[in-house]
Amino acid sequence: MIKEYQDLQHLDNEEIDPHQRGKDSQLQKELRALGETFSNFTKSTESEVQALSSHGSTVGRKMSNLESQVLKQQQAMSEDHSNLMLHVRNFVSDLRSLSCQIAVLQGNGTEKPCCPVNWVEREGSCYWFSRSGSSWHEAQEYCKLENAHLVVVTSLEEQNFIKHHTGSINTWMGLTDEHGPWKWVDGTDYESGFKKWMPEQPDNWYGHGLGGGEDCAHFTANGDWNDDVCLRPYRWVCEMALNKGS
């Protein structure tokens, strides 16, 4: 029993050995200092990572905005180029018509018929493309004043020709079912003729809130046909036979 007490006392003396306690205290200080250093390093690293992430997001947004601006400029330039080429083609057509009419007026023996100035010649017909909008009936009356009628489409080639000149603008054609079945204004047979309606059109929709159905046909943005309210202010195309333009 006495021996066990002495052993315990010896162990206790070892545990409170000042020299050993000094070593432990120094080790704890070093561990604390190392822990603080690691903590500071972690915070600093996290801060730098966040800063880099934020900077990366800013650069990404700037790159995205720049790409969007470049794309818009390319689209604008493409549209400008298309418009310029259309003006050039129209100018050449007008110049050809003017030269033809001058030759007729000079009486140099030519009997070649000519399209009026500002009209486009194609396959024995003359076409005029409006640059403003009117109702279907107003457009048809305008064409009549020019000894013409709203365009009558008889082939895919003619369809593509008109689409080329009208672009993606809603444009009236000379087709209506206002007084019964669909009819072309010049009497061309509708049932056996060329057609290019949009899917599920014509539908004579009454839900537009303008009163009545849809009795007049027009070219849509992609060129396909749709029926719509005749009061809509769309652009239009007049057509006349070439020999009427002289």
> How many Å apart are CA 101 and CA 242, to the nearest integer?
13
How confident is the model at residue 8, as a pLDDT?
Answer: 43
Q: Which of 128, 140, 132 is nearest to 97 (CA)?
A: 128
Q: Quick count: other Cβ atoms within 10 Å of Cβ 84?
A: 10
Task: Let me know: does 155 contact 196? Beta carbons within 8 Å.
Answer: no
> How many Å apart are CA 115 and CA 107, to the nearest integer?
17
Average pLDDT over residues 64-70: 76
Task: Let me know: does 151 contact 130? Beta carbons within 8 Å.
Answer: no
Q: Quick count: other Cβ atoms within 10 Å of Cβ 24?
A: 10
pLDDT tops 70 at residue 213 = yes
Calculate the average pLDDT of the chain: 80
- With cut-offs at 50, 70 and 90, classify the pLDDT of residue 26: confident
Q: Which of 141, 152, 89 is nearest to 119 (CA)?
A: 89
Q: Is the peptide bond before 18 cis (omega within 30 degrees of 0)?
A: no
pLDDT tops 90 at residue 33 = no
Q: What share of the chain is helix, strand, coil (3-state, %, to 5)?
A: 50, 15, 35
How confident is the model at residue 97, as a pLDDT?
Answer: 62
pTM above 0.75?
no
Phi then psi dihedrals of residue 74, to 5 deg: -65, -40
pLDDT tops 70 at residue 94 = no
6 or 24, higher pLDDT: 24
How confident is the model at residue 114, as a pLDDT?
Answer: 82
89 or 238, higher pLDDT: 238
Average pLDDT over residues 180-196: 96
Q: Which helix (H) or strand (E) holds 6?
A: helix 2-15
What residues contact residue 244 under an 8 Å CB cut-off, 6+ apart? 126, 147, 148
- With cut-offs at 50, 70 and 90, classify the pLDDT of residue 55: confident
- With cut-offs at 50, 70 and 90, classify the pLDDT of residue 103: low
Task: Let me know: does 138 contact 232? Beta carbons within 8 Å.
Answer: no
pLDDT in tens, 107-132: 655 567 788 888 999 999 999 999 99
Q: How far is CA 28 from CA 12, 65, 113, in A?
A: 21, 55, 109
Task: Let me know: does 239 contact 126? Beta carbons within 8 Å.
Answer: yes
pLDDT tops 70 at residue 184 = yes
pLDDT in tens, 126-173: 999 999 999 999 999 999 999 999 999 999 999 999 999 999 999 999
